[in-house]
Structure 1
Amino acid sequence: MWTSINMDAYLALTCHYIDASTTLRSTVLGVVYFPDKHTAVNLATVKTSLMEEWGIGAKVTCLVTDGAANMLVTLRLRHAICVAHTLNLIVKKCLDLTPVLSSIRTKARRLVGYFRSSTSAKEKLAVIQEQMGKPTLKLIQEVETRWNSTFQMLQRLVDQREPVGAALSGLDSDIPVLTSE
């Protein structure tokens, strides 16, 4: 399951298999708009339908999903919890339990959100980046379900700290500049 920027839910079903020449293959079987409640029954119906559409129902030996209860009981197949999802949960929990990191993330998200939502701030940043000889790069917003996006957001802010600070000083904003404190 994933949610678009417009908050529309989708179910994606992919298939990973080894072909006759022992090459690992991956295929997207479908991406389905999913306005229904995310119950185990509704999820199972869509997954079963997609597998039947591809004629692979009897060939599927294991499902890999996140660890949500509605995913774990969707079909009576062997099941594995996605390692990347579990890693994301662990990293996010560690970040949340470390007060200084939690505070930095909160400030960074607010700062990035300001530059991503304000046309004048975005344009001002691009002009200053160019004047300072820095690459004209947009700031990266953290994505809650992607632990590495936190690192990417913070790394971009560190790389662009001078242009970001200069842009903020020339804008009418109550957004504080991130400092080394």
Structure 2
Amino acid sequence: ITCHWISPKFELYDIVLDMTNFPETHTTIEIVEKLQHQIKKFNLAQKNIISITSDNGSNVKAAISQMQITNILCTTHTLQLSINLDLNYIKIQKQLNPDIREPLDVIKDIETCWNSIFRAIQHLILLQPSINHLCSTLLNSVISNIRKDGEKLKDSLLSNDEFNICNKLIIILKPFNKATEILGDSKYPTLSIVTPTIEELKQ
């Protein structure tokens, strides 16, 4: 839980209030109780809480609504949901057409780490020459076991077409990466730039 406020001199402040263990079921009632406990714990007046920024979870939104506090949904979280939805479309197409090879099988991203898929693909493209060189070196080894490792690596390598898809994905995801960095900063107010940032992404 983080707290953000502006001083009478219009100076921005933000602190981490707590990192709370939440073993209970994340129901609306439990979330309300947890938030109210934190408000009392830090002796905060609820009337002074202008808004709460949260993800898009229906349970979280319902809890904040019950507390009658303005809920501002995290724009960067919404952007990541949109990206994940589009990437899942590729997986659905693969299920409908087994002949389509999924280009991202060998890339491991972390869903809760925003822009990780962008960084993973970007890093993979940078490493492509080194990976190809390693594969060639292993395949040309005079030691049979090493050549077998080379064959395994070759079988898992992305094809040129798949690397081309990755390059196109980088072009598509790069603006989202930039938008997430801009909207995720805590050094300046971001609510006022949400709309122009989204409009820029639509271009």
TM over 0.5: yes
TM (norm. structure 2) is: 0.59
* Higher strand proportion (structure 1 or 2): 1
TM (norm. structure 1) is: 0.66
Residue 41 in structure 1 maps to residue 41 in structure 2: no
Question: Which residue among 112, 121, 130 is the counterpart of 1:154?
Answer: 121
Residue 111 of structure 2: SS of its match in structure 1?
coil
CA contact (8 A) 1:88 1:146 kept: no
- Provide the rounded CA distance (Å) in 2 between the counterparts of 1:17 and 1:167: 54
Residue 62 in structure 1 maps to residue 40 in structure 2: no
- Provide the rounded CA distance (Å) in 2 between the counterparts of 1:24 and 1:65: 20
Q: CA deviation at 1:147?
A: 4.2
Which stretch of the first structure deviates more once superposed, 50-59 or 84-93? 50-59
> 5 Å matches for 1:63-78?
63-74=52-63, 75-78=67-70
Can you give the 5+ residue segments of structure 2 that lack an aligned partner in the other structure? 95-100, 139-145, 162-203
Size of the aligned set, in residue pairs, is: 137
Residue 103 of structure 1: SS of its match in structure 2?
coil
* Higher helix proportion (structure 1 or 2): 2
When the two chains are superposed, the root-mean-square deviation of aligned CA atoms in Å is 2.5
Q: 1:167/1:50 Cα in 2 relative to 1: closer, same or farther (>3 Å)?
A: farther
**Percent of pairs identical after alignment?**
21
Correspondence for 1:114 = none
Correspondence for 1:104 = 103
Which structure's CA Rg is the greater one? 2
- Provide the rounded CA distance (Å) in 1 between the counterparts of 2:49 and 2:4: 10
Q: 1:106/1:147 Cα in 2 relative to 1: closer, same or farther (>3 Å)?
A: farther
